Structure 1
Amino acid sequence: MTDLEHDFSGLRAMFVNCTLKRSPEQSNTQGIIDASAAIMTRHGVQVDVVRAIDHDIATGVYLDMTEHGWERDEWPLLFARILDADILVVAGPIWLGDNSSVTKKVIERLYAGSSMTNAAGQYVYYGKVGGAVITGNEDGIKHCASNILYSLQHIGFSIPPGADAGWIGEAGPGPSYLDPGSGGPENEFTQRNTTFMTWNLMHLAAMLKAAGGFPVGGNQRTEWDAGARFDYPEHPNPEYR
């Protein structure tokens, strides 16, 4: 079977690994990131990978927490790299059936920038595509992925079909994705979902980039603030004043 010939060389992708393990400790989440990134790189996408826990990211919901009592905060530098990307994949492990604390912190800090606007007056993440990668050795892939993907779309990212992938093995304590004999890297379900997710992220990002971003019309925060209501109907109650 012939490999697909596509050139996505105009795209940039960023993977944020929300593992609890500092480098150079092995991250199982990184195993799936590497597989997805390899497909992107093969088709010309510039890939940026960051392990969030290796950086001094403050807790909070402002763009720069040093302006709110924190001595250090590396998030502004990471945020600039995210703004340069067309694709953002938030990846992380499952703990007690939920996303890691690092994943939650990253989502909160992404939210901090969500009120910013782009050149068209839309929210700043409009025109960017989001995905999720989940790993663990306990149940919760769909719950964790749905939380990430809901959060990303709520703040302006576009989500393609099949925008998540993951591996958990058997329910209950057991080997992790990259452990010898786990079967994780050989698992066809994970391979397929990772591949489909990667291609769908690239396809949608390429479509949006070719269109000059997400369509403008009825979604410009700057225009709304200036008084535009984009055909929102007047209140139907005649007694409402």
Structure 2
Amino acid sequence: MSTIGTNPTIQGSRVALVTGGSGGIGRAVVERLADDGFALGVHYAGNQAKADETVAAVKAAGGRAIAIGGDVADEGAMSAAFDAVEAEFGGIDVVVNTAGIMLLSPIATLDLADLDRIYRTNIRGTVVISQQAARRVRPGGAIINFSTSVTRTQFPGYGAYVASKAAVESITLILARELRGKDVTVNAVAPGPTATALFLNGKDEATITNLAAAVPLERLGQPTDIAETVAFLAGPARWVNGQVIFTNGGLA
């Protein structure tokens, strides 16, 4: 965090809203964009303390940030969240939607209540955030959604989660084309196995070791690895649009 705000090319000039920005990949994205001089809206769903901690870290390093809460699938709450960021910083240039849930089960025994929870957050939430972003992101900006590399690997147990992320990819690619002429890029990042609490939860050591070994680089990804791809899409990647970027160390 020591380099926050030191990139002279965009220092102090851009604003980003990161959903799920209080932990895991979301926090790494917040810190990376802060390094590039972005002012940040740090969204949280339920853990305000973690969001406040993230905001405090950005501010301590000389950056600008506010915490904003709400359910990403609630259009009223998210409209208010976007309003708060615009009121604080004057507009929004980049929206990064990392918020999501992952509940694993074989399809044959899937609890349909879990299916509804996954779809509400991952699909409806993506639509709600994409609607607000499409209406508000300034020209020259970017909308970045999150998928998963398991849409390619088809790991057993991931059926409902992967179905939701396949929907995210479709929403993303269509929105990119619907925003023709707006000078706003729309892309999705699809991480591979990444060492976050969300990914590691419920997995034994052997499973984690096998997943790391499946990657040609022979390690799990780190949240900072994913954040680098987001920073690329949020900044210099103006000719990358309507794409799903698989950031997974070469996982097939």
Larger helix fraction of residues: 2
TM-score by length of 2: 0.48
Larger gyration radius, structure 1 or structure 2: 1
